[in-house]
A and B are shown apart, each in its own frame.
Chain A
């Protein structure tokens, strides 16, 4: 059972009944879901959660939609792995990797869409939609397929075919749009006003966003009911980053973990770093940019939650870091070689950010740290194509020995 009380404007605090809208009519501020946290506190315990399903629905009491098996593809409850190789390389004693690249459609976006799709059905929608260049489209198409819903996925027309295969395979209606990025953006806002569809990151964004709270819940549970000293996570819109922190704090409020002293560190790539740049300049005002980064899944130039991400950094005593473009592929390779996890560009950015935070002395060797790896490397193979250089030989032992050397 959900414990939602209302939608509330993050800026002027006006309250709205639960429904498919995301903007305050009065000040155009974003709406967020409000919960009766005391009722949640009374309803949950570590034991009740531990007895729940092995998916993000074990935290259903904290979510804005009820679990609906009809649209569930088992998002969440991904591994938290204690790093060995990367920890040793960086001299960290307790580094954990949240491997969210192994979600059903291979990114953390399955969490937000799991919640959004369940809510969409509850609100009476039969169609899911989004505008996306990658991970979100995959998650929307996959959930719609499972839920027997229609899916409309809008993409910019100049995308490489390979990038959208992971969405097309589920059979959505895919619409390629000619025009600039701004044109696509504007069209989608008009369509969201006109068509009776659940645009997951537009009209049902408040519910959608809360799916990412489970990234905080899970890590706290998997660490043995505690929040880490540091979180390092990649950001685009900034939504996931703020929701991880909200997740820790809701767990603390409901008595599942102790006081949260986690420092939240947000990482962006040089080619699209509006949040990190504002942080470096010491302001809470974001200057939107045109995204131009190899970490394409972080390419949001006008981040809807950028301001709130900056507030989380401030409140938690964290920071923001910029990864240089060349560090993205290096980070991907480093994580693969050091700990056996193959991530995409966003993960490469996170690894690079972690390195910088350790080098700066912001993260001390003995402080428990969680690195969020949010997407899968098989979706962005172009970025690291240069690792492939096999030793070509004839199928003879002699040829092998020539190439490798004889057995000792």
Chain B
């Protein structure tokens, strides 16, 4: 299980990314919270599945222009 935040800052992202994550990959996606305004915003997702599969899915999301980060923010503090 992984918790990630997907950030969409490019209005041009046409892919239905969350849908495709569950469709193209063997991942169950669960939206916990989101804030989207005029096509920009973020989604906090819980992803269930094999770690390697989740990694592949997230790598794909990056290639279509989505920013992927840990849901909680950075845990390494200066």
**Which residues of A approach B to under 8 Å, CB–CB?**
11, 22-23, 26-30, 130-136, 154, 156, 181-182, 184-186, 188-189, 192, 199, 201-202, 236-237, 283-288, 296-306
Contacts and interface: CB of A to CB of B under 8 A. Distances in A.
B73 A304 contact: yes
A237 B74 contact: yes
Contact of B78 (A26, A135, A202): A135
Interface residues of B, number: 24
Interface of B: 3, 5, 7, 9, 32-33, 35, 37, 40-42, 44, 46, 67, 69-78
A22 B74 CA distance: 14
A184 B33 CA distance: 25
A302 B78 contact: no
A300 B33 contact: no
A132 B74 contact: no
Contact of A132 (B37, B40, B77): B77
Nearest to A186: B70
A27 B76 contact: no
B69 to A, nearest CB: 5
A181 B76 contact: yes
Contact of B74 (A29, A283, A301): A301
Contacts of A154: 76
A303 B3 contact: no
A367 B42 CA distance: 38
B77 A131 contact: yes
B40 to A, nearest CB: 6
A79 to B, nearest CB: 23
A23 B77 contact: no
Given A28-B72, A133-B78, A201-B75, 12 more contacts: A27-B33, A30-B72, A133-B76, A136-B77, A156-B76, A185-B76, A189-B72, A189-B75, A237-B73, A287-B9, A300-B77, A306-B73
B70 to A, nearest CB: 6
A236 B76 contact: no
Contact of A303 (B32, B33, B67, B74): B74
Given A287-B9, A288-B67, A302-B70, A27 B75 contact: no
Nearest to B67: A288
Contacts of B75: 131, 185, 188-189, 192, 199, 201-202
A284 B77 CA distance: 22
B44 to A, nearest CB: 5
A132 B5 CA distance: 22
A201 B75 CA distance: 7
Given A11-B33, A28-B44, A285-B42, A300 B74 contact: yes
Nearest to A303: B73
Contacts, number: 95
Contacts of A300: 73-74, 77-78
A29 B67 contact: no
Interface centre among A27, A154, A156, A192 (most CB of B within 10 A): A27
B77 A236 contact: yes
A285 B70 CA distance: 15
Contacts of A302: 5, 69-70, 73-74
Contacts of B72: 22-23, 28, 30, 189, 202, 304
A185 B7 contact: no
Contacts of B44: 27-28
B69 A136 contact: no
Contacts of B41: 285
Contacts of A305: 73
Contact of A297 (B7, B35, B71, B78): B78
B53 to A, nearest CB: 16
B32 A27 contact: yes
A27 B31 CA distance: 9
Contacts of A304: 72-74
A283 B46 CA distance: 25
B11 to A, nearest CB: 13
A189 B33 contact: no
A288 B76 contact: no
A182 B35 CA distance: 24
11 contacts: A28-B46, A30-B72, A131-B76, A133-B77, A136-B78, A181-B76, A186-B70, A188-B75, A285-B35, A285-B40, A288-B7
A130 B74 CA distance: 12
Given A131-B76, A201-B77, A285-B41, A29 B70 contact: no
